[in-house]
């Protein structure tokens, strides 16, 4: 199968690594960056000199699985470590794929989801998230999309790119209803626990839920390339581990050790993310009020991104190109199949630089 162009990564690769570099990155879906030195300086620190550069267990080293289990409040034996959430999703598709079957996915959603399902021969049934309804996520809508050929349904909460959440009671209701149909619920919670209202526990402990997460988003450590699946069913978990053995064999022991240290100091990482994202979201809300004659949005309830759109329905790509030429990077909506939208990240830049970026954004918007 020929994969379609990955428009989001093409856009990011074109601009994020340009020379000279973009001054204000609002296209990123991660939080403030950390250096290895900054990370190692947290807590009691950790030496890396005695790390053996061999293979790790395919399911992940015990220390890392215990750290993830503690973070999520689950048995570490349920945890399967992966090469980011991307490998986690591929493993799910590989383990579930059967001729004539389908998966239920949100739309809009992460752009890799639909093509990767197609690679494994799976059909896709969409849960349409309506901007007229603030992109809200409802259990009933997911259930309506499930049919007799569905092998799993996925909910992304907090959602990329819209920033909406499915409340805990909705996830519990959905997982129980899907169990009666023999369909597991996959909860993509890479942005957990970044919420701007009432905190929500991880869904990983719920029955009939396979949780998917990583160190890239809420932990702001994308370069570690550490993700995970949490699966309580031992037979399905064994299939996941076998798939991982075929795909990538294991993670790097060095990166696993850094991830263990990061999770031990997660309160520091998460506090910084919450502070930056929270302050920037206030500034962004004020900005959206000022430009509400041109742009509309659904204020995010969690995560690090939002998905504003042009009220007149124009294609956002020319505007995004103009922004990039002035040093501000946002992702055009055609990367998500909705050209009038833009994905805007608000957690990478410190508040002073974020405000500067919004000033340039507003100037280009008014000039256009």
Distance, CA of 261 to CA of 148 (rounded, Å): 44
Question: Does residue 224 lie within any of the structural domains?
Answer: yes
**290 and 252 housed in the same domain:** no
The count of residues in the chain is 368
Whether residues 160 and 294 fall in one domain: no
CA distance 64 to 256: 6
141 and 246 in a common domain? yes
Q: Are residues 181 and 197 in the same domain?
A: yes
The pLDDT tens digits of the residues spanning 7-45 come to 999 999 998 887 778 999 999 999 999 999 999 999 876
Residues 29 and 58 occupy one common structural domain: no
Whether residues 221 and 312 share a domain: the answer is: no
- 53 has a pLDDT exceeding 90: no
**The domain spanning residue 68 has which CATH number?**
3.40.640.10
In a domain, 19, yes or no: yes
Residue 233, Cα to own-chain centre: how many angstroms? 24
- Closest to 21 (Cα-Cα) out of 361, 324, 362: 324
pLDDT of residue 1: 66
Token duo for residue 119: 């690679």
- Averaged pLDDT, 298-315: 98
Residue 2 has pLDDT above 80, yes or no: no
- Look at the chain and report how many structural domains it folds into: 2
44, part of any domain:
no
Q: How far apart are CA 347 and CA 360, in angstroms?
A: 17
Q: Are 208 and 237 members of one domain?
A: yes
Domain co-membership, 271 together with 261: no
Same domain, 65 and 199: yes
* pLDDT band, residue 49 (cuts 50/70/90): confident
Q: Say if 2 falls within a structural domain.
A: no
235 and 188 together in one domain: yes
**What is the domain-level CATH number for residue 334?**
3.90.1150.10
Measured between alpha carbons, how far is 104 from 91 in angstroms, rounded to an integer? 16
Side-by-side strand order, sheet with 102-107: 79-82, 227-230, 209-214, 185-188, 150-156, 102-107, 123-128
Q: Residues 6 or more apart from 195 whose CB is under 8 A from it?
A: 158, 165, 301, 302
Gap between the Cα atoms of 141 and 145, Å rounded: 7
pLDDT more than 70, % of the chain: 99
Specify the range with the lowest mean pLDDT, choosing from 49-53, 133-137, 274-278. Answer: 49-53
**pLDDT value at residue 43:** 81
Using the predicted structure, report yes or no on whether residue 131 has a pLDDT greater than 70.
yes
At 172, give phi and psi (nearest 5°). Answer: -60, -45
| Residue 146 counted as domain residue | yes
**Are 276 and 183 in a shared domain?**
no
Shared-domain flag, residues 117 and 246: yes
Residue 46 has pLDDT above 80, yes or no: no
End-of-domain residue from the set 265, 280, 314: 265
Please check whether residue 148 lies inside any domain of the structure: yes
Q: How far apart are alpha carbons 119 and 97 in whole angstroms? A: 10
More confident residue, 1 or 279: 279
Ramachandran sector of residue 297 (left: φ over 0; alpha: ψ -120 to 50; beta: rest): beta
Identify the domain containing residue 137 by its residue range.
Answer: 50-265
Q: Is residue 41 assigned to a domain?
A: no
Alpha helices (runs of H) in the chain, residue ranges in sequence order: 7-16, 36-40, 62-72, 84-96, 113-119, 139-145, 168-181, 234-247, 253-264, 266-290, 317-325, 351-367
β-strands 342-345, 305-306 pairing: antiparallel
Q: Inform me whether the pLDDT recorded for 95 exceeds 90.
A: yes
Among 248, 265, 282, where does a domain finish?
265
- Residue ending a domain, among 238, 265, 292, is 265
pTM above 0.75? yes
CB atoms within 10 A of CB 265: 18
Kindly state the tokens that stand for 127.
């849960």
Note the pLDDT tens digit of each residue in 199-212: 999 999 999 999 99
Please give the structure tokens belonging to residue 27.
């296209």
Asked if residue 230 is part of any domain, the answer here is: yes
């Amino acid at each position: 199968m020929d994969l379609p162009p990955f428009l989001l990564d093409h856009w990011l690769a074109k601009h994020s690594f340009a020379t000279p570099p973009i001054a204000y990155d609002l296209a990123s879906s991660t939080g403030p960056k950390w250096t290895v030195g900054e990370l190692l300086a947290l807590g009691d620190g950790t030496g890396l000199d005695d790390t053996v550069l061999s293979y790790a267990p395919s399911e992940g080293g015990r220390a890392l699985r215990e750290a993830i289990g503690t973070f999520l409040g689950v048995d570490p034996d349920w945890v399967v470590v992966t090469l980011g959430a991307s490998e986690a999703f591929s493993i799910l598709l590989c383990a579930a794929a059967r001729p004539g079957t389908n998966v239920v996915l949100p739309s809009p959603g992460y752009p890799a989801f639909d093509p990767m399902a197609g690679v494994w021969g799976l059909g896709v049934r969409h849960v349409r998230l309506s901007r007229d309804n603030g992109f809200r996520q409802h259990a009933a809508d997911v259930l309506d999309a499930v049919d007799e050929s569905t092998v799993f349904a996925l909910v992304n909460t907090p959602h990329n790119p819209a920033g909406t959440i499915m409340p805990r009671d909705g996830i519990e209701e959905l997982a129980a209803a899907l169990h009666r149909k023999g369909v597991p619920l996959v909860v993509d919670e890479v942005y957990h626990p970044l919420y701007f209202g009432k905190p929500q526990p991880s869904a990983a402990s719920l029955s009939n839920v396979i949780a998917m997460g990583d160190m890239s988003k809420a932990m702001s450590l994308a370069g570690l390339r550490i993700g995970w699946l949490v699966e309580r069913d031992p037979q399905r978990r064994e299939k996941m581990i076998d798939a991982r053995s075929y795909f990538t064999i294991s993670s790097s022991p060095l990166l696993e050790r850094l991830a263990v240290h990061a999770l031990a100091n997660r309160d520091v990482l998460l506090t910084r993310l919450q502070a930056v994202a929270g302050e920037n979201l206030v500034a962004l809300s004020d900005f959206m009020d000022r430009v509400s004659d041109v742009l509309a949005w659904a204020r995010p309830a969690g995560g690090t991104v939002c998905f504003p759109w042009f009220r007149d329905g124009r294609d956002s790509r020319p505007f995004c190109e103009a922004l990039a030429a002035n040093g501000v990077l946002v992702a055009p909506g055609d990367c998500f199949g909705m050209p009038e939208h833009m994905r805007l990240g608000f957690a990478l830049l410190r508040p002073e630089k974020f405000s500067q970026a919004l000033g340039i954004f507003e100037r280009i918007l008014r000039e256009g």
